[in-house]
Chain A
């Protein structure tokens, strides 16, 4: 997958601590992100057991469900969660900016950022969203009106994670793995405690020793959503039994506090670690995409838009897939453009090369096919030590002057001749002899999405126009047992 990461992993073993695989931070980090650590009852699909949530390290909110099999207590938990999360999420909708251009629009200057421990919690956010967004405040099984709204927002946050480079809902282990390579396997990196032990081992200990100590579930409880089976048997079950007998939620509360607090501290330690890295150049653009989506969702929810259906319809699914692919392409390219260590991977595999300009032919002009007037197409000769695997005729882009494209003309030993095709006004875009340059085939993408047919024009090949989704009482009273 990546020689750079694999090399850094080997180096981490020898050095006894994690090694950087990025020189800059590739995700947006809010000044006050909402850290959310949800726990669920083992064996259940989406029965919340408790959560620690908050946007200030010193002020965590602890929420528990003293008897997770009791459906009323689950909804009470969701209502309490909504009282903490909704003000945070909806409160980002304050000042706006005007985005100029063909599609001129207003956009909020801020958006919510929720940070969870890992992939398991992201999946749990999806299930919590799915199990609450169809609920109704009236009808057969009424719930607190905030619950379905929270369900819509959790669904929104989850769906953002499907787009590469979004920072709306961040699994912390993956955010850290993007920046550090440890001396353990990616599978073990999914454990937040061992991952951090490798990144910042305590003085006098190697990462390996620290990670081995961090594997003890008693000292470092799992970051959820699943709890340690030993904890379930020895601590949680008696605590739940005590609630059933006495009606006091305190034993469950104290048990879960002990499970959540260590992870809470690790999460904020990780936030500070990431904050210490300078932000990459393209992070602002990607965060703007998150803000765009957030702005649209605020408007949709305010208009009383229905919750997302259980399944996508053909047209919206095709558009979403296009957006996802486009986001992935831009994200991969942007990270390489922003970060020499990421670009190193592409250089090692021959998809990019860096070097020094040894010769420039500024005045060269050619006649384009069908053209009448010769146009300027300067030639730049680069000396590189990289193993170039780009054939003549290959379209390349300059890593230093974004969106300037060119074409490989000739390869001769360690010399590569590149013809520059655009951004040449008054010769400004032509590098000089001795300049360090880098060219790559990675395309930043960002093209306008082609038009997909509207829902009512869905072709018969895709099932024809879908029936409009109308939430029913059936959805609202779905069992959650």
Chain B
């Protein structure tokens, strides 16, 4: 472990490490085959700065209006020691919470380091769990600003969730506050899906923490409390979100993630992604870690524009999207597709079935577009 930590520090060069968050873990699990992303994330390298240095900045950013809206909604929900939230948990969800202890971790710890905050989170949740098991139900506990850790690709990362953990009866729920609207009982499905993936990361981390403490991870509910504004107003509403599916996907993909040591073993020993080097040198270094580009990366990974440019350069089919890649199953480059389509000699290959379809489409396509060219 220490050796791989040293190597990761060396890869980062002199820069300070950036934090993982649930978003990056969820994205990592969404593309588990990408070595490049795994290494950059495990080493805590700023992908944003790297992409900028490489000349392929990602146009990510959040509007100040969206940030302000998210902040004001969260403040509203958490105002008066989560008065709104408790009402929602009791009324809307019928959670059995007679009285509740509200614990705010950063406030208690002051300028606490991450280790201290994490230790405090662990202690409070362990006590809550023990008393819950002992008494059966009893009073609830609401932990604000908890800090979780999660082993990702063999490397421990801290998760600083903007969420709360609430204990109701003997069950623990993750509470996620989002500012997208639930209109007539339905919200934008893409945003709900993203929220479920994020929440699943927290549920997973909490379960892992319980397991490490010797507490039954089954106490952590797979139902997440999602708090959103209702209709077009600012009033919060709460929904229970079942994240079992996302949890299973996350567990499978995190376990499949090639352990970071194994990726590191394949990299040259003196490799560094330090931003001190020239863009060309950095590009060479980054290319040493293999990427698996897909257009979905464009919305989740800061490196995507660099990887896309490389994928285009070598005529990869990946740039055309998953549907096309699946349609042309087995073929990996634009040239392979077009050569096979135009191959009248019917050279035998392992791609016989798709080759036959392509030759067929090619013939029809040529006949019709040629006819059109004559008309035009």
Contacts and interface: CB of A to CB of B under 8 A. Distances in A.
B320 A184 contact: yes
Interface string A445-481: 0000000000000000000000000000000001111
Interface string B332-367: 001101100100000000000000111011111100
Contacts of B67: 43
Given A2-B327, A478-B231, A480-B232, A187 B296 contact: yes
A348 B358 CA distance: 8
17 contacts: A2-B327, A4-B365, A7-B337, A7-B362, A10-B317, A23-B372, A45-B180, A46-B181, A185-B295, A185-B319, A217-B59, A232-B64, A345-B361, A347-B360, A387-B356, A387-B357, A478-B233
Contacts of A127: 183
A164 to B, nearest CB: 19
Given A7-B337, A348-B360, A480 B233 contact: yes
A43 B361 contact: no
B365 A229 contact: no
Nearest to A46: B232
Contacts of A415: none
Contacts of B320: 6, 9-10, 13, 183-185
Best-buried of A45, A127, A479 by chain B (most CB within 10 Å): A45
A43 B66 contact: yes
A67 B361 CA distance: 54
B312 interface: yes
A248 B296 CA distance: 42
A288 interface: no
Contacts of B235: 479
B328 A232 contact: no
A314 interface: no
Grouping DSSP codes into helix (H, G, I), strand (E, B) and loop, the B interface class, with mixed when no group exceeds half, is: helix
A228 B188 CA distance: 20
A77 to B, nearest CB: 14
B315 interface: yes
User: Nearest 3 A-B pairs (CB), nearest first?
Assistant: A43-B66, A479-B233, A185-B321
A344 B65 contact: no
B295 A4 contact: no
A284 B324 CA distance: 32
Given A43-B68, A187-B296, A480-B232, A340 B315 contact: no
Interface string B239-283: 000000000000000000000000000000000000000000000
B184 interface: yes
Given A2-B327, A6-B324, A340-B364, A42 B65 contact: yes
A178 B321 CA distance: 16
B184 A310 contact: yes
Contact of A341 (B63, B231, B358, B365): B365
Best-buried of B181, B232, B234 by chain A (most CB within 10 Å): B232
Interface in A203-220: 208, 215, 217
Interface string B102-136: 00000000000000000000000000000000000
Contacts, number: 160
B323 interface: yes
A345 B365 CA distance: 10
B61 A230 contact: yes
Contacts of A32: none
A311 interface: yes
B62 A229 contact: yes
Interface string B29-64: 000000000000000000000000000000101111
Contact of A187 (B321, B335, B365): B321
A233 interface: yes
B327 A45 contact: no
B368 A6 contact: no
Nearest to B328: A6
A376 B356 CA distance: 38
B69 interface: yes
Interface string A213-257: 001010000000011111011001100000000000000000000
B229 interface: yes
Contacts of B15: none
Given A4-B365, A14-B334, A347-B360, A187 B295 contact: yes
Interface string A13-25: 1100001100100
A7 B365 contact: yes
A442 interface: no
A8 interface: yes
A7 B180 CA distance: 39
A387 B357 CA distance: 8
A311 to B, nearest CB: 7
A348 B298 contact: no
A10 B360 contact: no
B232 A7 contact: no
Interface in B269-312: 295-296, 298-299, 312
B295 A227 contact: no
A188 B232 contact: no
